[in-house]
Amino acid sequence: MKNLVPRILLASLFVFASFAAAGAQVKSKTAKADTAAEQPGDLQKFRQDFIKAAEEYRASLQELSASYESNLKKLAEKHEQLKGLYTDGLIARKEFEASEAEMTDARARVEEMRTEMARADETLAAARRPIEPLSTAAPLQVASAQVKWTTGSTAIDNLIRLNGQRYGVDPYLVYCVMRQESGFRLGATSPVGAAGLMQLMPGTAARYGVSNPYDPAQSIRGGTRYLADLLRLFGGRVDLALAGYNAGEGAVMKYGRRIPPYRETQNYVRTIGTRYAQSGGGVMLTGKSVEREARGNRR
């Protein structure tokens, strides 16, 4: 156990170093190089680095899990011995209960590690999927100017860029939606059941193959694909794509391909649309423009 800890720490450091290297690859280049960092070669390099780091992290979890299970086995054997001694009245109840508490804690650590390994497996599976070719059915909205942005996590920033490039969606638009939806909180859950960074509803998550909406890789992949489909469906119009993300594409279609007359949806489109317009790629949605859409829907 003493020799195990340094190896786990080294493996963890490697994971963070790999993410930092991928982030530096994006950040170390100038404003001109922000776009170059999203070219296919750099994208593939980041993808390979991400997979390698995730594999190292998975291996460290497996090693740590083995030590936890070994410890649990030893505690179980000790507990059985104490059980016999307690039954014979040779030890106090307090000592026996302390052994039970140790067993409970050890089981919890083993289960926690198994859950974490399952999440790591899901992340690896998502990262290993081939990048899907972009559809040319309809143009997507891409910002004409670059703006500096960050979620506060290099790994999440890189996942946004990776999926934005993969599905043809401006990463800054994905960032703006995530900021509004979850405030970058991994465990965010809405009262109506939307979950994760991109706040996917259960039906939407299932549609895009997201089995764990709280996993960043799955959430960002599913949310970005949904945005891409909405942009294609509405001819690249960001305002209608945002309305569809909030209220569902059916609601936008119901009101004649207009922003539905729901206060929540109108505020949602106005807030994100105004922020996204700062990049030069969005449409500035003022209060009057959204209200005009709503009046048109009521006619």
pLDDT digits (tens, 9 = 90+) for 220-233: 999 999 999 999 99
Q: Which of 283, 287, 179, 288 is nearest to 240 (CA)?
A: 283
When pLDDT is averaged across residues 89-107 and rounded to a whole number, the result is 89
pLDDT score for 86: 85
Q: Which residues are catalytic?
A: 181
142's tokens: 């891409």
When pLDDT is averaged across residues 68-88 and rounded to a whole number, the result is 90
pLDDT score for 52: 78
Q: Provide the total of helices (H) and of strands (E) in the chain, helices listed first.
A: 12, 0
When pLDDT is averaged across residues 3-8 and rounded to a whole number, the result is 42
pLDDT higher than 60, residue 199:
yes
Q: Which of 200, 230, 192 is nearest to 218 (CA)?
A: 200
Residue type, 263: R
Q: Which of 270, 216, 212, 220 is nearest to 246 (CA)?
A: 270
Identify which has the larger pLDDT, 198 or 20: 198
The string of pLDDT tens digits covering residues 168-196 is: 999 999 999 999 999 999 999 999 999 99
> Structure pTM?
0.51
pLDDT score for 296: 53
CA distance 173 to 280: 11
Burial bucket for residue 74 (CB in 10 Å: 0-12, 13-18, 19+):
exposed
Mean pLDDT of the chain: 77
